[in-house]
Structure 1
Amino acid sequence: MTPPELAERLLTGLRLRDDRMLRTLLAADARLTVDARGDGDGDGDGHGRGTGHGTEVRGPADIVVALLARLAGPAGTALSIGAANGGPAIVQRDPDGTVTAVLCFDGEGAIDALWLSTAPARLDHWNRRGDRHRSRRHPV
């Protein structure tokens, strides 16, 4: 599968919250790095406690659990395909259009690495006035 095809399937699996489908997209040794610095404590968990600089999750089953937990927003939250770091990415927007997460990935055939950014400072440029609904390439 090409990266655009993987992005389409990843988006579908996330929207449907289909853990089985999502696991089939991931390589056996896949890893997810979560950057949520700016959540108040720097540990990357989005909960405002801890002391680290982010988290890494390994293996398809654990990655799927983490993605479904982190990309579950309130009613009206939307997921779409965008572009970041030179490739397709999954972009999460809250009901008012503010980007709250960007998921990038690497791999052909299967996804072997994912990066999820929910750090407000890293998403600032996605949320500049006038940029919210444009489909542009953004560095994450």
Structure 2
Amino acid sequence: MMKLPAHVLFRKEWSLILWEPRGTLDQAVVNEVVAFIETAERRTLQPFHRFMDMSALDMVDLNFKFVFHVALSRRLSATPKPSVKSAFYVTSPATVHYAKLHAMLTDRSPLDVALFTDRAAAATWLGVPAEALTMP
């Protein structure tokens, strides 16, 4: 069994990973979650969607170069796999900026990225009930 990073929950019944980072979103936090997702992708046969709730962040400490490299890495690791959806729940200009950047850089790849300001709309897009997007 893999150890879940902080503020991550795997909802097996909906093939969904929830991530609700808190405080400062920096390279170390992103790298930990990306490593977890890539390991989970290698270990499971069934693809799973992602929901990132960015509402508990106080600050985003990332830069274009880092986001570019993460997006490129995700494109390359996702290419031979079925398509998956990544929904970003964004509530600040900084989270909108970096989520849009990630979405643009992964466009036309198996990663279908969308930004939402409404959790219910994100749940509908992901094909799960709204309660699936709530951390216990």
Question: Normalised by the shorter chain, which TM-score bucket?
Answer: under 0.3
Higher helix share goes to which structure? 2
Higher strand share goes to which structure? 1
TM-score, normalization: structure 1? Answer: 0.24
Instruction: Between the two structures, name the one with larger relative contact order (CA 8 Å, sep ≥ 6).
Output: 1
